[in-house]
Amino acid sequence: MECQRKYRKMMKSQQKFRVSSSKKQRKIDRNIRVVFPEPLYEAMSGSLINEEKASHECYILAQCGYKVDESKKNLTYMVKDLYIPGREDLLEQSSVTVTPKADFLEKIFSEAYENNSTIIEIHSHVDSKSPNFSWVDIDHGIDNGRFLRSCKIKFVMCVIGTEGFSIAEYDSDHDSLDLPKKAVISIMTRSGIKDVLPGETSTGSSIEISPVYDRQVLMWGKEGQERICNVCAGIVGLGGTGSVLLQMLARMGVKKFVLCDDDIIERSNLNRLPYTFNSDIGKKKIKAAQNYLKKLSKDIDTTLLNGKVQEHKEKLKGCDILFGCVDSEGARLILNEISLKYFIPYIDTGTEIFCRNADSGSNSLDMGGQVRVVIPSVTGCLECMGGIDKGKAEMDLLRPEEMNIREKTGYVNGTDITPVPSVISLNNMIASMAVQEFVDMVTGNGSRPKEYNYIKYDSVEPVLERMIFEKDPSCPMCGNGGILGAGDIKKQSRPRIKNIAGSG
Where do contacts with Zn ion occur on this chain (CB under 5 A)? 134, 137, 381, 383-384, 475, 477-478
DSSP 413: -
Q: Which is nearer to Zn ion, 163 or 407 (CB)?
A: 163
Shortest gap between Cβ of 110 and Zn ion (angstroms)? 25
CB of 125 to Zn ion, least distance (A): 5
CB 202 to Zn ion: min, Å = 20
Minimal distance in Å, beta carbon 169 to Zn ion? 16
- Alpha-carbon separation of residue 123 from 17, 62, 64, 378, 446 (angstroms): 23, 11, 16, 25, 36
Query: Distances from the Cα of 469 to the Cαs of 131, 192, 380, 387, 409, in angstroms?
Result: 39, 16, 5, 11, 39
C-beta of 60 vs 475, nearer to Zn ion: 475
Closest CA to 81 of 435, 501, 485: 485
Peptide bond connecting 180 to the previous residue in cis, omega within 30 degrees of 0: no
Residues 374-388 as b/e (b if ≥16 CB within 10 A, e otherwise) read bbbbbbbbbbbbebb
192 φ, ψ (degrees, to nearest 5): 110, -170
Q: Which residues pair with 348 in a beta bridge?
A: 324, 372
Residue nearest to Zn ion (CB): 475
By C-alpha distance, which of 107, 115, 111 is closest to 85?
A: 107
Minimum distance between the CB of residue 412 and Zn ion, rounded to whole angstroms?
29
Tell me the C-alpha distance between 500 and 280, whole Å: 59
The residue (of 225 and 336) whose beta carbon lies closer to Zn ion is 336
Chain centroid offset of residue 323 CA: 13
- Cβ atoms of 191 and 439 within 8 Å: the answer is no
Name the minimum Å distance from CB 339 to Zn ion.
10
| CB closer to Zn ion, 426 vs 477 | 477
Q: Which is nearer to Zn ion, 254 or 381 (CB)?
A: 381
Render 450-469 in DSSP notation, one character per residue: ---SEEEEETTTTEEEEE--
Q: Give min distance, CB of 123 to Zn ion, in A.
A: 5
C-alpha pair distances (Å), 134 with each of 11, 22, 131, 269, 288? 19, 11, 9, 63, 56
Smallest gap from Cβ 476 to Zn ion, in A, equals: 8
In the bound state with Zn ion, the residue whose beta carbon lies nearer, of 137 and 280, is: 137
Q: Which residue number, 319 or 384, has a Cβ lying nearer to Zn ion?
A: 384
* Alpha helix ranges (H) inside 20-153: 38-48, 102-114, 135-150
Of the pair 192, 376, the CB lying nearest Zn ion is at: 376
